[in-house]
């Protein structure tokens, strides 16, 4: 009942979804033609027909009515055997995460998954005579409350939602849970408060529709720090895989980096991460006078956008003029990165600019406050 009340979880992909990739590549090709900003035909009737055709063919997300049976998102619930198979985890958090991962295969291709995972010991399950195929939720309800830890995982389609969407979604779910359980009424007894604002997915979809329209305009009219979209469907052509190394930091090192960012540099974690990457490149290539950072940023600066559910992140190019890197202090580099970040001095990348830029996804680091080691 709680999941069914949230309007964003009733969104579904459009039936013309197979047309998305050809349309996306067409939008990328259109931005490639408009990159110079001097082609008169892009502003003439022919250009209007081209961008109107791409805009009209773009698949739309629909929001189903709450009363429809297909609008419900069924809960994914493990069995006692699923909990037993993941008992090798080092903590309850890790065990719940493993169990949730095994449940996702039950509904492949769906946009949203909501997993309810109770964690209890197999010895407690044996005391109530639970069979391996029994529902873990039913067994947990038969146990004492202090013997069970409850976890709820919401898994969102990355084509519909970006990383920062998780925070407003869980805020909405917690508020709705308070209303369903009566906790909100008990907390507000005797205190006059305005009614909570229900999440309206139409606002988020209208904002994304506006950004799509702007992205199909010719440059420089289309360019905006946050209100346009870079269609990168063609950036992979001619792209060669170079040297790469995957480094995974453990919890202790992440805690060290966070303390260094806050207590030493006095900045956010995402700025400290960009500073560390930029400093590494300047040490490897001291002759560089400018660094182009190819970033994926949240683009949620407008009123109420931080509470919207949808894919608002976009790729931006943020140039950093460093001058003589041999005379540049680390704190000075951090100030340059932080100033460019605060001023939003990034721009929509031109085609093929990715080849000479440093690509970094800072969306996850921008969501500061997540549990360490998450």
Give bridge partners of residue 321 from the DSSP assignment. 290
Q: List the structure tokens of 363.
A: 């969306």
The answer to whether the bond into 373 is cis (omega within 30° of 0) is no
pLDDT of residue 196: 46
Return the pLDDT at 195: 47
Q: What is the pLDDT of residue 207?
A: 87
The beta strands (E) that lie in 298-372 are given as 314-321, 358-361
Alpha carbons 143 and 230: distance in angstroms, whole number: 53
What distance in Å separates the CA atoms of residue 316 and residue 344, rounded to the nearest whole number?
10
| Residue 75 φ then ψ, to 5° | -75, 140
At CA 319, angle to CA 315 and CA 325, rounded to 5?
Answer: 140
Number of helical (H) and strand (E) elements in the chain, helices listed first: 14, 8
Please, what's the b/e burial string for 263-281 (b: 16 or more CB within 10 A of its CB; e: otherwise)? eebebbbbbbbbbbbbbee
Report whether 141 contacts 77 (CB < 8 A). Answer: no
CA atoms within 13 A on the CB side of 319: 11
62 strand-pairing partners: 12
> C-alpha angle 31/61/231, rounded to 5°?
15
Q: What is the maximum alpha-carbon separation in the chain? A: 78
The per-residue pLDDT string of the chain (374 residues; one tens digit each, 9 = 90 and over) reads: 676 777 777 777 766 667 788 888 888 888 888 876 556 777 778 888 888 898 888 888 777 777 787 777 778 899 999 999 888 888 888 898 889 888 887 776 677 788 899 999 888 888 888 888 999 999 999 999 999 999 988 887 777 788 788 788 888 888 888 887 777 555 555 554 444 444 555 678 888 888 888 888 877 777 777 888 888 877 666 555 666 666 677 778 777 777 877 777 777 778 888 888 899 899 989 898 999 998 888 888 888 888 888 888 888 899 999 989 888 888 899 899 989 888 888 888 877 787 788 888 776 554 444 433 33
Residue 261 gets which letter from DSSP? I
- Judge contact between 161 and 367, C-beta under 8 A: no
Quick one: pLDDT at residue 35?
73
Q: How far does Cα 118 stand from its chain's mean position?
A: 26
CA distance 180 to 170: 15
Sequence-separated (6 or more) residues with CB below 8 Å from residue 342: none
Phi, psi of 321 (to 5 degrees): -85, 115
349 near 295, Cβ under 8 Å?
no
Residue 49 in 3-state DSSP? helix
Region of 373 (left: φ > 0; alpha: ψ -120 to 50; beta: rest) is left
Q: What confidence score (pLDDT) does residue 194 get? A: 47
pLDDT tens-digit profile of 284-338? 898 989 999 988 888 888 888 888 888 888 888 999 999 898 888 888 998 999 8
Q: What is the CA radius of gyration of the chain?
A: 24
Quick one: which of 132, 130, 161 has its CA closest to 147? Answer: 130
CA distance 311 to 318: 20
Residue 187, CB-side half-sphere exposure with 13 Å CA sphere: 8
The pair phi, psi for residue 363, each rounded to 5°, is -60, -45
């Amino acid at each position: 009942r709680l999941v069914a009340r949230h309007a964003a979880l009733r969104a579904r992909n459009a039936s013309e979804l197979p047309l998305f990739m050809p349309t996306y590549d067409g939008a990328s090709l259109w931005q490639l033609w408009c990159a110079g900003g001097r082609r008169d035909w892009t502003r003439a009737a022919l250009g209007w027909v081209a961008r109107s055709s791409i805009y009209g063919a773009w698949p739309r997300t629909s929001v189903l009515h709450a009363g429809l049976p297909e609008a419900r998102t069924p809960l994914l619930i493990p069995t006692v055997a699923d909990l037993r198979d993941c008992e090798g985890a080092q903590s309850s958090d890790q065990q719940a995460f493993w169990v949730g991962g095994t449940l996702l295969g039950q509904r492949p291709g769906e946009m949203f998954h909501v997993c309810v995972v109770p964690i209890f010991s197999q010895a407690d399950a044996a005391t109530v005579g639970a069979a391996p195929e029994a529902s873990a939720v039913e067994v947990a309800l038969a146990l004492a409350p202090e013997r069970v830890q409850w976890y709820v995982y919401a898994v969102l389609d990355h084509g519909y939602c970006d990383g920062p969407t998780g925070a407003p979604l869980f805020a909405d779910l917690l508020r709705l849970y308070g209303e369903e359980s009566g906790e909100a009424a008990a907390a507000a007894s005797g205190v006059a408060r305005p009614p909570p604002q229900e999440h309206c997915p139409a606002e988020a979809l209208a904002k994304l529709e506006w950004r799509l329209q702007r992205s199909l305009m010719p440059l420089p009219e289309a360019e905006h720090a946050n209100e346009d979209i870079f269609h990168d469907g063609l950036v992979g052509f001619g792209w060669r895989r170079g040297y790469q190394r995957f480094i995974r930091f453990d919890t202790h090192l992440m805690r060290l980096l966070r303390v260094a960012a806050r207590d030493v540099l006095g900045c956010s974690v995402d700025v400290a991460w960009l500073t560390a990457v930029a400093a590494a490149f300047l040490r490897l290539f001291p002759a560089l006078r400018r660094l182009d950072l190819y970033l994926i940023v949240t683009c949620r600066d407008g009123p109420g956008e931080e509470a919207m559910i949808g894919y608002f992140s976009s790729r931006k190019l943020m140039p950093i003029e460093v001058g003589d890197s041999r005379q540049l202090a680390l704190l000075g580099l951090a100030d340059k990165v932080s100033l460019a970040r605060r001023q939003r001095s990034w721009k929509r990348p031109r085609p093929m600019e990715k080849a000479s830029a440093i690509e970094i996804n800072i969306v996850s680091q921008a969501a500061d406050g997540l549990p360490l080691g998450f």
